[in-house]
Amino acid sequence: MFESKSGIFLIAGLGFFALSFVVMAVLPWMIYYKEPEQTVAMMAQKGMVPEFADLAERYPEQFKKHFGEVNYKTYAEALQLGHDVYVAEACWHCHSQFVRPVSNEDLRWGPVSHALEYQNTLQRPVLFGTRRVGPDLIREAARRPNDWHVAHFYNPLSVQPTSVMPAYSWFLDEQGYPNKKGMAIITYIQSLGSWLREYPYFEGDGPLGPAAHPEQPYGGKPVPKQVVNAPTEGSRQS
Ligand code: HEC
């Protein structure tokens, strides 16, 4: 069979297809199939991002109206709604949520993505994305303050003069405060990657600020006073 070219093509085609199927599908499945899929409630219990409480402090009246108080239940509600808005508004059309182990992507966006980060219901449907008109967002947590996001959603050109991202002014109410959708999408964006020890990670500068104290659930920041049932130490590490 090796005397003919078709024998080589057969080995190259079928053999390497089988090898890649085992390495890229069967092996990862064997490693992770016993890991339970995390629900939003489970993720919320692991650690709440301080930006959720910050929204309540910045926009107390609106926050009270939309979510009530800051606790793990309302945090989970905001995460779920934020995720649904992200899907509905097709943010995934321009943004990926996956740091690949190629092209030095980790220098720009932080640690390479890990299979376990996707074992949760907030990744259903999977939001890896297919192209990057805008930057990857899976390490977006704490890179920007909440008010930056409010300004950015209202008019991206106000903070990024060359942006081609559309304005999402319907995330704000008539007075310019984020409405329920706005608060939810900001909470969701601020949560992406917050489960990592290395968070936040800013364009190759390495871990900054809160990550200097990874042993503390709020990354060294004082636990916001509105938070009830603060998670135990270290629970936000992946
Ligand atoms: C037409 C493509 C497009 C769509 C759709 C889009 N974006 Fe963007 N986005 C961009 C581009 C380009 C940038 C980079 C320039 C900028 O910051 O505005 C960006 C930047 C961002 C940033 C800032 C990232 C950083 O830290 O620099 C966030 C957060 C973001 N987008 C969230 C969203 C969300 C949430 C949605 C859906 C509601 C969305 N985008 C929809 C193109 C898009």
156 lines ligand 1 (CB under 6 A): yes
133 lines ligand 1 (CB under 6 A): yes
Please calculate the CA angle 28-23-97 and round it to the nearest 5 degrees. Answer: 55
Question: How remote is the CA of residue 165 from the centroid of ligand 1, in Å?
Answer: 5
Binned at pLDDT 50, 70 and 90, residue 14 comes out as very high
pLDDT of the residue at 80: 98
151 lines ligand 1 (CB under 6 A): no
127 lines ligand 1 (CB under 6 A): no
Question: Atom 15, ligand 1: which residue's CA is nearest?
Answer: 163
Question: How remote is the CA of residue 9 from the centroid of ligand 1, in Å?
Answer: 44
CA distances from 196 to 50, 192, 202 (A): 15, 9, 13
Q: Could you name the CATH architecture of 38-212? A: Orthogonal Bundle (1.10)
pLDDT digits over 183-228, tens only? Answer: 999 999 999 988 887 676 665 555 543 444 444 444 445 554 544 4
Report residue 111 as tokens: 């640690």
Binned at pLDDT 50, 70 and 90, residue 236 comes out as very low
pLDDT digits over 47-90, tens only? Answer: 888 899 999 999 999 999 999 999 999 999 999 999 999 999 99
For 158-172, what is the mean pLDDT? 96
168 lines ligand 1 (CB under 6 A): yes
Helix/strand/coil for 9: helix
Could you tell which of 150, 165, 191 is best to mutate to test the pocket of ligand 1, judged by most ligand atoms within 8 Å of the CB?
Answer: 165
Residue 77 CB burial class (10 angstroms; 0-12, 13-18, ≥19):
buried
pLDDT of the residue at 207: 52
Phi-psi region of 231 (alpha: psi -120 to 50; beta: other; left: phi over 0): beta
Angle between helices 72-88 and 180-191 (to 10 degrees): 100
pTM beyond 0.85: the answer is no
Binned at pLDDT 50, 70 and 90, residue 92 comes out as very high
Calpha distance 115→81 (Å, rounded)? 24
Question: Atom 36, ligand 1: which residue's CA is nearest?
Answer: 91
Calpha distance 39→31 (Å, rounded)? 20
Task: Give start and end residues of each alpha helix (H) in 110-210.
Answer: 146-154, 180-191
Lowest mean pLDDT among 54-58, 116-120, 173-177: 116-120
